[in-house]
Structure 1
Amino acid sequence: MKTEIAHWLARDPDPKTREELQQLVETQNQAELAERFFGRLAFGTAGLRGIVGAGPNRMNHLVIQETATGLGQYLLATVSDAAERGVVIGFDGRPDSKRFAHDTASVLTAQGIKVYMTTHVAPTPMVAFGVKHFGAAAGVVVTASHNPPAYNGFKVYWGNGAQIIPPHDSGIAEKIELATRQELDLLDLELAKQQGLLYWLSESFYDTYRQALNQSALLSNHTQPESVSLAYTAMHGVGAHMAEALLADAGFTQVYSVTAQREPDGTFPTVNFPNPEEPGAMDMVIAEAKQHGATLACANDPDADRFAVAVRTEAGEYQMLTGDQVGVLLGHYLLTHAEPGQNLVGTTIVSSSLLKQIAKAQDANYFQTLTGFKWLTNVAMQRQSEDSRFLFAYEEALGYTVGSEVWDKDGLSALVAFAQLTAELASQGKTIWDQLESIYREHGLYLNAQRSIALQPGAPSVGEQLRAEPPASIAGRQVMITEDLKTSQRIHADGTVEPIDLPASDVLIYHLDDESRVVVRPSGTEPKLKCYYEVVELITHEDTLAHAQQRAADAMADLITHHQESLLG
């Protein structure tokens, strides 16, 4: 390890991280040194993400420069006109993000690759938009999204405007590995500009994204927007300016931003974990909504690619909608408002099945992918046709994309679409709750939940145990179909086997005789098993929604308890 540390210190351009590493050496902090040099931050389809600090297993200037070198070399080797088409780069409000983005630009321009760089912080979906807008070969956003303050990340888009998928991830990773043993070339950004290799994306580009969303037919429902009030938080991220502008453009005059969380601040002083899904993260925007009696309490995560909402109840309190509920509401709304031929919708294997039923009722086309928005948008591009253009996709983790202006999740367009849906319902004397109940009464109440089981490092594969002894029943419900994504097989209870058209993945999906579903997959980042559950409860004319919800909750509790016991037993 001494050799590796010496090699690192000789290459690290940042005196701050060199000093940090020297301090660890001098204090003989072997545990910390081993953790930082045990491996390297792995580059994958999500790019890089990790804690900021010294060493190859951290986010820092050297890791960024090596990563950018590998990305540039891969682009030049695989895309014939990559240098001319260039790379769009943006960054969030975390302390190191701007410097990391400038490092990336210095490396790419040194390789002769044109760079379009945002002048200041930018929402992640705006960079994805920029890749298509400029016809660039790739895009990079320096962001750790909704991770805690200690983190940063390096997210890569391909030339189609979507996040990278295989084989590009492994191809870039191979070039990065080579870059760790090469001398790194950087070009001063002022020189890059003089040589015509660096173009600064000023306010006019931000306005181009804004105009593109304003001109989208899917975001042009201006039914009495002034009648709806909403509170909004950017959660110390980069979304406030654009969110407020888009809502104003759409005619929403009653918008109340949480002042304390409006400006970018990568230390996130008012939230322990800047993820709208985390307990307490929405407290300030709900308090703002209560102060004004607002209909909605809305949030973007810090890079504005996710959208969360709490809706006022009859009692005047605010209840968070799940990602599935928002996805179902938006999917239903868009399918009933889209132009003929724009009817392709999709979601992931762990999201609610209800969107499939809604699409079927609307005679629309539906697709399903592995988890991750990279799959939703790349598959959407493959599946769409002139007769079935892409409309909408979502994943249960608060990610939504409305139309094809952005080929990634976009919390800003989702915010506008949801506000417009709410306003249209209000003009009819209806609420979001009324609409959800109407959908449930037509298609059934779909309830979804997720639980994780911590595993001991090195524990035997649960998936392989389940494949060796396939369950015939789960919680007293017969297994009718088992989908094994590792073998790409759909196995029916009668022994019939069909192929599955999804990339191989260590996932098992059990479809039960009462339409319940259980999905089991190992986490890709830590030793735990993720289990996703779905129960379906039909609602009769005599039923109240509350009774159906209670039955669904009871069925869910029973399913989770018995399934978890079977895995742990």
Structure 2
Amino acid sequence: MQHDLIAQARTWLAEDPDPETRDELAALIEAGDTQELAARFAGTLQFGTAGLRGELGAGPMRMNRSVVIRAAAGLAAYLKAQGQEGGLVVVGYDARYKSADFARDTAAVMTGAGLRAAVLPRPLPTPVLAYAIRHLGAVAGVEVTASHNPPRDNGYKVYLGDGSQIVPPADGEIAAAIAAVGPLDGVVRPEDGWETLGEDVLDAYLARTDAVLAAGSPRTARIVHTAMHGVGTSVLTAAFERAGFPAPVLVAEQAEPDPSFPTVAFPNPEEPGAMDLAFATARRAAPDLIIANDPDADRCAVAVPDTSVEGGWRMLRGDEVGALLAAHLVERGVSGVFAESIVSSSLLGRIAEKAGLGYEETLTGFKWIARVDGLRYGYEEALGYCVDPEGVRDKDGITAALLVAELASVLKERSRTLLDLLDDLALAHGLHATDQLSVRVEDLTVIADAMARLREQPPTALAGLAVTSAEDLTRGTDRLPPTDGLRYHLEGARVIVRPSGTEPKLKCYLEVVVPVADAAGLPAARVRGAELLAAIKRDLAAAAGI
């Protein structure tokens, strides 16, 4: 077995086009590090509806140029099989390690396969790529990004010509085409022949951002902004300037792209400590809001002044921002369908119903939300908001930031805040409190074991609330295709358990709904909601064995 492993590694080494990963792999072979080699050659990084995502390094279980070239060749073969010979593929990339290399390799493979390729002019937010696909009439797009993953990761996200991410069966067909790619020396990769786009594509995206705001709306909200060492700063500040908002105050330590992400353990606004520098900046600048983007700026996090919490600033949950934006759009008189994924708060459905708007619930991910017929607004709790589906059929942290700032400006004119509007929503629809139990693992069998345990011994009650129905989502439902997940409905609560599609995590999404009779009852309702969530989290962890 050891001999076969070394032979497999030497075969990979012989065709690796990257001197860095060649040196890395050669050193492992020379050292006879079979444990590390076994980890890297235990299989292949699987291409799915999230594309590819993994740790950088040599070998088929890591993100590297060899893996990317095969992915690009498989995608090219799939597009040609769909009759797209000669079609345009737009390629974008973030500022992570190797992103520019992976983008160039993708453009070279597309060109060599008889397609046309155009690369964005520099590292830019993922929403710019999603916009450019439809703007340029492309047959597909690729974004090289690992979003908010740790610094050593990178990823490969694929869009088709409608500007939305791939879903079955396209993902399986592309995966099969990737598996059919032969030796890399058979993949034609010319040195040139593709186009590098100019700044005009970004200008067109920025012009489109104006569409999310109401004509003549107030633009007075002052924000502190952090890009989390990603690519969002220049685009967000340009969008705010075009719209006529005050210039954002930047978190200087995190404003420029830096693939090492030196000030955060994980470049995700939801992670503990990630917002500390933004809070410190806000205490000096005294803005109306803090807005944070993740490194590829497709997510948008919001924090608000709150004297009741330590430090004076509170992060809003994704579900809270999702409801606030929905309420704002309703007040503006929009029409169409509101949509969210099953893991998001049920409050959106109540807002849509009261406003007489359509409502749809989808599987997790914007690849599903973006496909809802007549979509006007979509969101999911992981800080993703689609506020202009005609422009970007995906989550967009730039346009979401503009819409949040507009809402804050409208409320500011009325001497009110986002927290006041949340109170209004609780009084109108009940207090919808949400939380998450998220467990990051080194060994993926922990996740499989937890899911199996819950399927074999489903809980009958959580936090003293009876489980009124339990669904195994692998079987699908009347309105949802199959997915690996479990859903429990309780008396006044809901729980969904699923493995993450992009990280080694088991995620459990919790929601309780507490009736509120009047404003005087809000504090007690919040306490009750927090108590129930904590108890559900405790009981669910015990039931899952995590």
Counterpart position of 1:457: 445
Counterpart position of 1:73: 77
Counterpart position of 1:508: 486
Q: Which of 28, 33, 50 is the matching residue for 1:46?
A: 50
Judge conservation of contact 1:457–1:527 (CA < 8 Å) in 2: no
Judge conservation of contact 1:221–1:420 (CA < 8 Å) in 2: no
Judge conservation of contact 2:97–2:154 (CA < 8 Å) in 1: no
Q: Report the alpha carbon displacement of residue 241 of structure 1 after superposing the two structures with TM.
A: 0.8
- The answer to whether structure 1 residue 477 and structure 2 residue 465 are counterparts is yes
Counterpart position of 2:259: 266
- The answer to whether structure 1 residue 351 and structure 2 residue 344 are counterparts is yes
Q: Report the alpha carbon displacement of residue 55 of structure 1 after superposing the two structures with TM.
A: 1.1
Judge conservation of contact 1:24–1:33 (CA < 8 Å) in 2: yes
Distance 1:566 1:45, change over 3 A: closer
Counterpart position of 2:393: 407
| Residues 202-351 of structure 1: pairs in structure 2 closer than 5 A | 202-214=198-210, 216=211, 218-220=212-214, 222-226=216-220, 228-314=221-307, 317-339=312-334, 342-351=335-344
Separation (CA, whole Å) in 2 of partners of 1:67 and 1:527: 22
Judge conservation of contact 1:128–1:408 (CA < 8 Å) in 2: yes
Q: Report the alpha carbon displacement of residue 350 of structure 1 after superposing the two structures with TM.
A: 1.1
Q: Which is further off, 527-536 or 8-17?
A: 527-536
Q: Which of 93, 96, 99 is the matching residue for 1:97?
A: 99
Distance 1:119 1:530, change over 3 A: closer
Judge conservation of contact 1:93–1:121 (CA < 8 Å) in 2: yes
| Residues 507-546 of structure 1: pairs in structure 2 closer than 5 A | 507-513=485-491, 515-523=492-500, 529-541=506-518, 543-546=520-523
Q: Report the alpha carbon displacement of residue 29 of structure 1 after superposing the two structures with TM.
A: 0.9
2:135 match: secondary structure: helix
Judge conservation of contact 2:463–2:535 (CA < 8 Å) in 1: yes
Q: Deviations over 1:70-97 (max 9, x none)?
A: 110111012x1x2333101011111311
| Residues 146-165 of structure 1: pairs in structure 2 closer than 5 A | 146-165=148-167
Separation (CA, whole Å) in 2 of partners of 1:183 and 1:338: 57
Separation (CA, whole Å) in 2 of partners of 1:566 and 1:347: 28
Separation (CA, whole Å) in 1 of partners of 2:544 and 2:19: 50
1:502 match: secondary structure: coil
Separation (CA, whole Å) in 1 of partners of 2:26 and 2:541: 47
| Residues 373-522 of structure 1: pairs in structure 2 closer than 5 A | 373-378=366-371, 380=372, 383-384=373-374, 390-404=375-389, 405-452=391-438, 457=445, 463=451, 466-467=454-455, 471-489=459-477, 500-513=478-491, 515-522=492-499
Separation (CA, whole Å) in 1 of partners of 2:102 and 2:543: 47
Distance 1:313 1:222, change over 3 A: farther
Q: Report the alpha carbon displacement of residue 8 of structure 1 after superposing the two structures with TM.
A: 0.8
1:392 match: secondary structure: strand
Distance 1:564 1:175, change over 3 A: same
Judge conservation of contact 2:447–2:499 (CA < 8 Å) in 1: no
Amino acid at match of 2:229: H
Judge conservation of contact 1:232–1:298 (CA < 8 Å) in 2: yes
Judge conservation of contact 1:223–1:427 (CA < 8 Å) in 2: no
Separation (CA, whole Å) in 2 of partners of 1:467 and 1:459: 12
Amino acid at match of 2:523: A
Q: Report the alpha carbon displacement of residue 478 of structure 1 after superposing the two structures with TM.
A: 2.8
Identity of aligned residues (%): 43
Separation (CA, whole Å) in 2 of partners of 1:206 and 1:84: 24
1:18 match: secondary structure: helix
Q: Which is further off, 472-481 or 236-245?
A: 472-481
Q: Report the alpha carbon displacement of residue 466 of structure 1 after superposing the two structures with TM.
A: 4.8
| Residues 357-368 of structure 1: pairs in structure 2 closer than 5 A | 357-368=350-361
Q: Deviations over 1:129-173 (max 9, x none)?
A: 111111211100111111111111111001111111111111111
Judge conservation of contact 1:138–1:156 (CA < 8 Å) in 2: yes
Distance 1:560 1:17, change over 3 A: closer
Amino acid at match of 1:541: D
1:531 match: secondary structure: strand
Separation (CA, whole Å) in 2 of partners of 1:456 and 1:258: 36
Judge conservation of contact 1:105–1:189 (CA < 8 Å) in 2: no
Counterpart position of 2:13: 9
Judge conservation of contact 1:70–1:179 (CA < 8 Å) in 2: yes
Separation (CA, whole Å) in 1 of partners of 2:412 and 2:447: 53
Separation (CA, whole Å) in 2 of partners of 1:414 and 1:96: 28
Distance 1:321 1:187, change over 3 A: same
Distance 1:106 1:479, change over 3 A: same
Counterpart position of 1:553: 530
Q: Deviations over 1:268-297 (max 9, x none)?
A: 122221111111111112222211111111
Amino acid at match of 2:483: S
Distance 1:466 1:23, change over 3 A: closer
Q: Report the alpha carbon displacement of residue 181 of structure 1 after superposing the two structures with TM.
A: 3.6
Amino acid at match of 1:219: L
Separation (CA, whole Å) in 2 of partners of 1:264 and 1:469: 47
Q: Which is further off, 52-61 or 504-513?
A: 504-513
Judge conservation of contact 2:336–2:376 (CA < 8 Å) in 1: yes
Separation (CA, whole Å) in 1 of partners of 2:118 and 2:149: 26
Separation (CA, whole Å) in 1 of partners of 2:147 and 2:36: 26
Distance 1:517 1:318, change over 3 A: same
Judge conservation of contact 2:164–2:394 (CA < 8 Å) in 1: yes
Distance 1:173 1:447, change over 3 A: same
Distance 1:28 1:246, change over 3 A: same
Number of residue-to-residue matches in the alignment? 537
Q: Report the alpha carbon displacement of residue 259 of structure 1 after superposing the two structures with TM.
A: 2.1
Counterpart position of 1:128: 130
Q: Deviations over 1:332-362 (max 9, x none)?
A: 11122144xx220111111111101111110
Amino acid at match of 2:6: K
Q: Deviations over 1:201-244 (max 9, x none)?
A: 11111100000111x1x323543313x21111111111111100
Amino acid at match of 1:482: A
Gaps of 5+ in 2: none
Q: Report the alpha carbon displacement of residue 477 of structure 1 after superposing the two structures with TM.
A: 2.3
Separation (CA, whole Å) in 2 of partners of 1:200 and 1:449: 44
Distance 1:527 1:150, change over 3 A: closer
Judge conservation of contact 2:463–2:532 (CA < 8 Å) in 1: no
Distance 1:59 1:251, change over 3 A: same
- The answer to whether structure 1 residue 29 and structure 2 residue 14 are counterparts is no
